[in-house]
Structure 1
């Protein structure tokens, strides 16, 4: 391509520079605009958010950051002064185009409501203050909306999702029994990565099919979050946790394709696509466990367009051969491309030849004008984050796609490059010579991505997939007798056990059906409305997995294989406990000692001292009782020794009776008892504990047998 001479460009660049630094008119707080889902109480999200458009005194929208950008602030308070709640409100994110993104994360539910003040200096912006009438729920509140249509309307969910309609076009009807029979047979081998989910009465159950199912933690967390917000339909489905889509049968084949849910689709597959685990996890952990999320990216897009480096940029792993070609192109054309591999796994032999690049923060990617998006094993999951920046994205032609790709068009939202990257340098040259057109494409892509990738849109998409999945079931594919019975049992137990809860205690209890048998056992979990923070919460690791199986130095170490045959199996990081006999209403006599109240001190040292003191009292009482009954006999046959032991024992007992427990040291009691031939105190307590355990076990067994004999399961 022919380059323009440098001299004629200097006046143009100077004019652009002067325009960039020219001050905008002052911000008019009353005329500025505020809108977004975070201003509606019914929109429950991990991080609530809304937008602000700065407007000048003439009523014109500002297109650059106003000089007083730091004057914008948000103050959020409870409407009731009696409600003290913790709400994290960071500084507004400047999106460098005259708009700002306001975020806040709630850690408690507010009963009365919230008051949101948006200020420019000391002046209220737009219609501030905004009142959110209570209750305003936080992310972990088990408060689902019972009417799904109301929930969708509150979130302003789109009426149609083109990708969902395309995916379900292959499944006008779904035969549930065929799906349950064929999916485990075809994809549930040891190398599989399939999870079978059942949603029943708005509770989530799953069982793993295959060995590589660690990523179920990501599908778990978004489904549980969705169930806390809206009542989900009763259905069963399979989620593919692997990289590649699975179902390649064509619609006109016999047998036909099976509805498998995946995070990535391809032109030759029939999987139903959901938003990737990467963007859902970053949405759930925003402002807490991760730094790169769909909101934070928008306020960290680097320098303005004119100040960005005019090069194409790439950093990533060696998960596709074209990425290695990209590095070689960078070595040959450093003036156009800066590309590097940060980690070698698939092509380790190439590391010495191509070198290993240093890691760089994702926000620093946007110091460059052009971003190269090349597939990894499948579609590159960085693509949504790149589109949210203000750099021009050069996207490789690919058979793989995510849930939002259908709305993006080449040369309108991004610049396409060939699969083999043969035209990459040509496209970079074009972008440099057509700067305004490149900037326009980058801006159009950014605005579209901002709309498509809003966190509340992800929840809408997830629910629409589950809803359409349920609607596609055949009429005859109803729940089996086992499933219908489980629904009746669960509803009965939820109503019965709800009577045991104390709503004023601030402590909540959840119940689940579990186990490998039917009818399932009942498990409970106690928790408070507080968030859980993992170490390195953004790492793709399953903290809920059982301890790793490893061989010790003992040759007889027998490894136990993990059981994958369980139907209702649930494993979580703080564990579900089976309902004990304490929850059963007992008609038997209860010892008065069981009802004694005991104090619980906050200090661990004080609790330990109390335990030692009680042990000391019991030991002295035991010695005193044996002394008065004459059963405290000494081992020695020496009369002088016997006299000393008798005198010491008598003195200890008298000191205890006169001066109390503190007048006798425990070692003195142990010294006397060591010279006697009576039973050891520790052995005595251990024997008593075993007898008590046998008694409790026999009582529980008798109660269970009596209960089972009186119950019968009827088909509803």
Structure 2
């Protein structure tokens, strides 16, 4: 009888432990959901919408980028010459002299240069004489721990002090894919195409799935792809080929998936954005779907990122993505909350990231840069005129 009693006691202990762990699991999940709701409530309460007038949404970015140069007493010619001497392939020397644009003969990435030069040429009548070093590579150039050089880059991390400029893809250039054989630009046209598709797939018609399609340029994307393979009802995420693809090992052991146009992303409610080699060009496009954007990682940025706020315009996730299942369950359960974030993200991009906002940013960027130049540039005869 004593043995039987011990067996019963042991069974009760096992059952109690099981239900206790289940209850604790539920409580832990709900606690995280409550934490998410609190983040959203606080972020929305604190958020003040910016003004597009005179680059108001991005003025703090310009101020921060040029503060090191103001502190140094301006941009000196020796700083510029040091940048010319130390620059790597992909950093292009431009001059604006007498309202004409000149560029070094060789440009490593011609389509990228075209995307940059569209804005420079358009602004020429307003611009005084100046010379610039514009980085057309993906990687930034100016480490924060060394003496800075005045190089403009489209993307950077907190470890660099390159001066932001709007990426070439607002007008032309990559990525070059089967779905975009001539490159992803132009932004004004993509806004229309994706916006039209979003009207075909309003929130109620979208699939309640997390979605991602892209190449494996970073292993930070792996957790979502692995999750989707195990949970196809909750997520559709797969790797496509890129130029470096050699075997299925490059797509995490599976054959590469077909490419999906950015417009067709609008069929899904939850769109994931990851860094690529640098900041991902897809980020701004995803918002035009009126879907909820989940942005993974916070280091890589473009000039407009700081104006968009986590929990207000998108949901942030750390690169380890340990809470991925809990987050996906959260957005599925709290559908109205998810939709409200999606709507705010769309409205920001639609209202504050138009092509005219990009042109205005370029204008303020160049005029601020010129105001800090401590020398008058002389025509470099090795540069050719760009018309």
What TM-score bracket applies, with the shorter chain setting the length?
A: 0.7 to 0.9
Among candidates 194, 219, 237, match of residue 297 of structure 1: 194
Among candidates 174, 183, 186, match of residue 74 of structure 2: 174
Q: Output the TM-score relative to the length of structure 2.
A: 0.76
For residues 102-121 of structure 1, what are the structure 2 equivalents within 5 Å? none
For residues 594-613 of structure 1, what are the structure 2 equivalents within 5 Å? none
Among candidates 272, 275, 278, match of residue 166 of structure 2: 275
Among candidates 243, 252, 257, match of residue 138 of structure 2: 243
Per-residue CA deviations over 1:545-596 (Å, capped at 9, x if unaligned) read xxxxxxxxxxxxxxxxxxxxxx222478xxxxxxxxxxxxxxxxxxxxxxxx
Q: Which has the higher contact order (CA 8 A, sep 6+)?
A: 2
Among candidates 299, 317, 325, match of residue 417 of structure 1: 317
Q: Distance in 2 between matches of 1:280 and 1:290?
A: 6
Residue 224 of structure 1 pairs with residue 106 of structure 2: no
Q: CA RMSD in A?
A: 2.8
* Counterpart in the other structure of 2:299: 399
Per-residue CA deviations over 1:85-105 (Å, capped at 9, x if unaligned) read xxxxxxxxxxxxxxxxxxxxx
Q: Distance in 2 between matches of 1:325 and 1:245?
A: 27
* Counterpart in the other structure of 1:599: none
Aligned residue pairs total 324
On the 8 A contact 2:262/2:285 being kept in 1, the answer is: no
Deviation at 1:394, TM superposition (A): 0.7
Q: Distance in 2 between matches of 1:346 and 1:327?
A: 19
**CA spacing shift, 1:165–1:209, aligned 2, 3 Å:** farther
2:269 aligned counterpart, secondary structure: strand
On the 8 A contact 1:213/1:241 being kept in 2, the answer is: no
On the 8 A contact 2:91/2:135 being kept in 1, the answer is: yes
Unaligned runs of 5+ in 1: 4-154, 487-517, 521-566, 573-716
On the 8 A contact 1:410/1:416 being kept in 2, the answer is: yes
Residue 365 of structure 1 pairs with residue 241 of structure 2: no
Q: Output the TM-score relative to the length of structure 1.
A: 0.42
On the 8 A contact 1:193/1:209 being kept in 2, the answer is: no
Q: Distance in 1 between matches of 2:186 and 2:310?
A: 34
For residues 103-252 of structure 1, what are the structure 2 equivalents within 5 Å? 156-158=53-55, 161-172=59-70, 173-188=73-88, 192-207=89-104, 215-227=112-124, 230-250=125-145
On the 8 A contact 2:107/2:113 being kept in 1, the answer is: no
**CA spacing shift, 1:422–1:158, aligned 2, 3 Å:** same
Q: Distance in 2 between matches of 1:323 and 1:470?
A: 40
On the 8 A contact 2:105/2:383 being kept in 1, the answer is: no
Q: Distance in 2 between matches of 1:290 and 1:321?
A: 28
On the 8 A contact 2:113/2:168 being kept in 1, the answer is: no
Residue 374 of structure 1 pairs with residue 271 of structure 2: no
**CA spacing shift, 1:415–1:458, aligned 2, 3 Å:** same
* Counterpart in the other structure of 2:329: 429
Q: Distance in 1 between matches of 2:113 and 2:151?
A: 15
On the 8 A contact 2:269/2:291 being kept in 1, the answer is: yes
**Structure 1 segments of 4 or more deviating over 6 A?**
288-291
Give 1 or 2: higher helix fraction: 2
For residues 619-630 of structure 1, what are the structure 2 equivalents within 5 Å? none
Deviation at 1:212, TM superposition (A): 5.6
On the 8 A contact 1:336/1:425 being kept in 2, the answer is: no
Deviation at 1:237, TM superposition (A): 0.9
Deviation at 1:262, TM superposition (A): 0.8
1:300 aligned counterpart, secondary structure: helix
Among candidates 371, 376, 380, match of residue 471 of structure 1: 371
On the 8 A contact 1:379/1:398 being kept in 2, the answer is: no
Among candidates 344, 348, 373, match of residue 444 of structure 1: 344
Q: Distance in 2 between matches of 1:161 and 1:463?
A: 12
Among candidates 208, 228, 233, match of residue 335 of structure 1: 233
